[in-house]
Amino acid sequence: MSRSGLSRRAALALGASAAASAFAPAGLRLSSGKRALWDRSTGPHLRGAVFAVRRVYPALDGPQFLGSDLIGPPITDQALDRLAEAGGNLASWSGPGLYAERGGFALDGQVRDHIGDWLDRCRARGLFTTLCCRSGPGRSAFAFHPGEDWYPAELYDSSLWSDREKQAAWADMVAETFAHFGGHPALAGIVAVEEPNAADLGRPQASLSLARQILDRVRGDALDADTPLLLSPDRWARREAAADLRAAVGEDAVLVLHSYEPWAYTHQAPGQGVALADRDAGLDAYDALTGDWAVLEFGAVRHAPGPDAYLARRIARWEAAGANWAAFRWTSGWSVYEAREGAMTASEDARLLPVLRRAFAANRRRPA
């Protein structure tokens, strides 16, 4: 039971109805079909780019690098305007979930307000968005940087994969995200866990179990009546783990993949000059994927040889598969951050932006 006396399930169901009423314009029905946005037989319907953010730690980040708010870097209105002007219709948001990472895993009202504002900003520009839960109970943003020494070790947390209480709290967090925002016209989907990595930590079944738990929870409460749940495979959302996830969640679930193969090319250091030996390296394997799926991160460092050809080949493959896609990444517009973290910012490269613009020209769908 919750402190209000309602069960969590009842409270969430009530919250979902209230949120839908608050966000839905006249005439929008909860069965209006945002699940159809992910149908590969008629797609792709969504083409855009990624915006990645995290919680700000002033002692680590200083007063300017990620800005002074709870979440950074700030994404400027100008950055969103540029994506819309280029023709994109998807701004994929990768950031903190609604719950605190430690302690009692309470809902963080500041994160909730930040996400609500983000959804409204996207809708105002004719952009759909996906909310990709990057951190939450038992998982910090630094879980994406294992073994690195630029942050205090105590900030690292990946205990989600070994703690059932935290897994239950994560499932609650995803359900509450649907309850608050599922009816918002700009929300195209919610990625339950961004880049699961339980297998790398020696727990290959943990991410499958959590995905099933979240799926059962969301469907059991009918929280995905309008906005679909999106699930990513283990090993950092790699294609190689997709078959196991598909077997665990069924053919009707939408899978979200990230594609950075071959890693030696996409993440090479400046001056390495690693060329793409095979023009379709790793792409043929996507033909074996079943059901509906999308690629919501892919790209390469801009100093790699021929990144425009790399980007174009991948877009062509996703298009042929009818799969929605989001390139990594679009500028935040926050200059202090971009000056240090712009190696994969496709929007700021004169070779890459025209590739995106040409592909974005096929977009037809916009939020109501």
- Name the residue range of residue 289's domain: 8-23+42-360
Split at pLDDT 50, 70, 90, the class of 33 is confident
Q: What is the pLDDT of residue 282?
A: 79
Q: What is the pTM of this model?
A: 0.91
Mean pLDDT along residues 351-362: 98
Is residue 100 within 8 Å of residue 137, measured between CB atoms? yes
As a whole number, the mean pLDDT across the chain is: 91
pLDDT above 70 for 319: yes
Mean pLDDT along residues 329-338: 98
Is residue 359 within 8 Å of residue 315, measured between CB atoms? yes
Give domain status of residue 277, yes or no: yes
CATH number at residue 122: 3.20.20.80
Q: What is the pLDDT of residues 131-141, one digit of tens each?
A: 999 999 999 99
Give domain status of residue 15, yes or no: yes
- Count up the domains in the chain and report the number: 1
Give domain status of residue 185, yes or no: yes
| 3-class secondary-structure state, position 302 | coil
Give domain status of residue 140, yes or no: yes
Q: What is the pLDDT of residue 20?
A: 34
Give the span between the Cα atoms of 245 and 342, in whole angstroms.
32
Place of tokens 């790793």: 282
pLDDT above 90 for 14: no
Give the span between the Cα atoms of 157 and 140, in whole angstroms.
5
Q: What is the pLDDT of residue 225?
A: 92
- Cis peptide, bond prior to residue 25, ω within 30 of zero: no
Give domain status of residue 28, yes or no: no
Give domain status of residue 108, yes or no: yes
Q: What is the pLDDT of residues 173-208, one digit of tens each?
A: 999 999 999 999 999 999 999 999 999 999 999 999
Q: What is the pLDDT of residue 130?
A: 98
Q: What is the pLDDT of residue 9?
A: 29
